A and B are shown apart, each in its own frame.
Chain A
């Protein structure tokens, strides 16, 4: 049985973790892989921490949710605390270095804890709107679950209607993707 890569991404509603998970899944499909995506959902309509569970592998995926992720990404202080439970000795835990006051809350049992300046990079070098795509690049850079090329195609497919109205968004998104990959590449993650 081929082991699937287990990804959990958590953030505040509106940060785009669910759309990123879906684009990543599209990219996996383009690659001819199997994938299973499930959002966490509750009774709250807004204001909660949102988590996307995504598994990508060569064979049909087993259970939809998992206890321990291979990569767990937290994009807010609340998300850092909320995702502790998905961290184990095999987990690469990634969080945004701009998050304040979570030093004491970072997981102590992770294989590795990595802070990346995603928000700062998006805000200063690109545009806050492509923060989620930058995060997606970081996931790809860290795990290699899909190729950058297929990720670009998946972005193209999902955002085609936006690119039609504003073609400059295409380059911006692709740049963000590459920046994301570069962010973790510099951190010594394969």
Chain B
């Protein structure tokens, strides 16, 4: 993989592009060296834009035979010390869970962009927020993953760059969780060279084939995902879980508004958060005591900040384009709290600001169940 002198993005500039294009430019700007992938709507154009730019900037691309292989080859790229990533959606995300479980087991810093579509199975190629559980907790493990849920194309760009640094710093698989709307829509954003904003990229290093002689210059690389006895596995998991819990407070991110003593606190993530923010700000402007809490990291979840906000609210409203996937996380993180939780759950379909306003108005007026 040749180093090229030309930077894909110089300085900073405002552009109008689709989310898939934004992911591609962010990965280029972050110095990603190789993408592995298998086509699936609505993430296809990430691969298209990437392959178009590969020759210009000395990067590489491998189209695999399926998502299982795309996940495993991404692991291979990382083992060789490359800043590698893949992207998928829906049934592809399901297939990819086997390699992603392995990445989790071996602490391999793969970066995965998920453009959620409707499920289960092939369902729609359009949009949903139904891959929250799968992305956070998929696989036969404990969900030792980092999941950023973006709500705009600016965030898609920012967090794709950030994902590479989070992954390589903490050595947990890191996900950028967006959706078909963010993939396909066009809006304004600023693209930039990370260095121009003082963002340093965390250096990568090979896991295998390191320089030096085993036993002399260095220890042997001991990468395992197979264990002979239960206690051996438990020891590794306890260590990884302790690591995860220790770094979680540094990783968690959230956004909130008007959380002090509100009658209603709206909880939403991703693109639905945009509708929630519009509705809440509008209603707060009309004097209603209403706020929002938006987790940016779904894994690890900003538990402490959320509990503090929820403690000052009379009622919560959880809104999502899924039938209770964010809700489950919310309930788990609120254990012991008695604040009533209302819901606006629309699996596989978008939620407009008007719908959230109507629901909030009904709750504030004391209507409904």
Identify the A interface with B (CB < 8 A).
Answer: 1, 22, 25, 29, 34-43, 60-68
Give the distance to chain B from A48, nearest Cβ to Cβ, in Å.
Answer: 12
Instruction: Evaluate contact between A63 and B186: CB separation under 8 angstroms.
Output: no
What are 13 A-to-B residue pairs whose CB atoms are below 8 Å? A1-B278, A22-B186, A34-B187, A34-B188, A36-B186, A41-B184, A62-B275, A63-B351, A64-B182, A65-B352, A66-B352, A67-B354, A68-B354
A38 with B185: in contact, given A62-B274, A63-B352, A64-B271 (CB under 8 Å)?
yes
Within the assembled complex, what's the spacing in Å between the Cα atoms of A62 and B274? 6
Asked whether, in the complex, the Cβ of A42 is within 8 Å of the Cβ of B281, the reply is: no
Is A65's CB under 8 angstroms from B184's CB? no
Please give the number of chain B residues whose Cβ is less than 8 angstroms from any Cβ of chain A in the complex. 30
Contact of A60 among B188, B350, B353 (CB under 8 A): B188
Which residues of the partner chain A approach B204 to less than 8 Å between Cβ atoms?
Answer: none
19 extra interchain contacts, Cβ-Cβ under 8 A, other than A38-B185, A64-B274? Answer: A1-B281, A25-B16, A25-B186, A35-B16, A35-B186, A36-B186, A37-B187, A38-B186, A39-B184, A41-B42, A41-B126, A41-B184, A42-B124, A62-B274, A62-B353, A63-B274, A63-B351, A63-B353, A64-B185
A22 CA to B352 CA in the complex, in Å? 22
B181 interface hit (Cβ, 8 Å): yes
| Residues of chain A within 8 A of B133, CB atoms compared | none
Smallest distance from the beta carbon of A67 to chain B beta carbons, Å? Answer: 5
* Chain A residue nearest in CB terms to B356: A63
Q: Is A37 within 8 A of B125, CB to CB?
A: no
- Chain B residue at minimum C-beta to C-beta distance from A36: B187
**B18 → A minimal CB distance (Å):** 9
**Is B205 an interface position by the 8 A CB rule?**
no
Q: How far is the CA of A178 from the CA of B344 in the complex (A)?
A: 46
The reply on B142 being an interface residue by CB < 8 A is no
Whole-angstrom CA separation of A42 from B275 in the bound complex: 23
B41 in the interface, Cβ–Cβ < 8 Å?
Answer: yes
- Provide the residues of chain B in CB contact with A34, threshold 8 Å: 187-188
Contact A42 B271 (CB under 8 A): no
Nearest first, the 4 A-B pairs at minimum CB distance are A38-B185, A62-B278, A63-B275, A36-B187
Chain B 344-363 interface mask (CB, 8 Å, partner A; 1/0): 00000011111100000000
Measured CB to CB, the closest approach of chain B to A3, in angstroms, equals: 11
Cα A22 to Cα B184 in complex, Å, equals 13
Contacting residue for A37 out of B126, B185, B354, B355, CB 8 A: B185
With contact pairs A29-B16, A63-B353 given, residues A43 and B278 touching in the complex (Cβ less than 8 Å): no
What residues of B have a CB within 8 angstroms of the CB of A62 in the complex? 274-275, 277-278, 353
Contact between chains at A63 and B271 (CB < 8 Å) = yes
Q: How far is the CB of B105 from chain A (nearest CB, A)?
A: 35
Knowing A62-B278, A63-B274, A64-B271 touch, does A35 contact B187 (C-beta < 8 A)? yes
Could you tell me if A42 and B126 are in contact, using CB atoms closer than 8 angstroms?
Answer: yes
A88 to chain B: closest residue by CB: B354
List the A side residues contacting B122 at CB < 8 Å. Answer: 43
Bound CA–CA A1/B286 (angstroms): 12
* Separation of A37 and B152 alpha carbons in the complex (Å): 13
With a cutoff of 8 Å between Cβ atoms, the chain A residues found around residue B282 in the complex are 1
Chain A residues with CB below 8 A from B181, complex form: 38, 64-65
A64 with B350: in contact, given A1-B282, A38-B184 (CB under 8 Å)? Answer: yes
B-chain residues with CB within 8 Å of residue A65 when the two chains form the complex: 181, 350, 352
- Residues on the A chain within 8 Å of B351, using CB: 63
A59 to chain B, nearest CB (A): 10
B187 partner residues in chain A, CB cutoff 8 A: 34-37, 60-61
- Name the distance in Å between B64's Cβ and chain A's nearest Cβ: 22
* Chain A, Cβ-Cβ closest to B186: A37
A63:B185 contact, CB within 8 angstroms: no
Inter-chain contacts of B185 with A (CB < 8 A) = 36-38, 64
Closest Cβ of chain B: how far from A71's Cβ, in Å?
17
Complex Cα gap A37–B19 (Å)? 11
Question: Which residues from A are CB-within-8-Å of B355?
Answer: 67
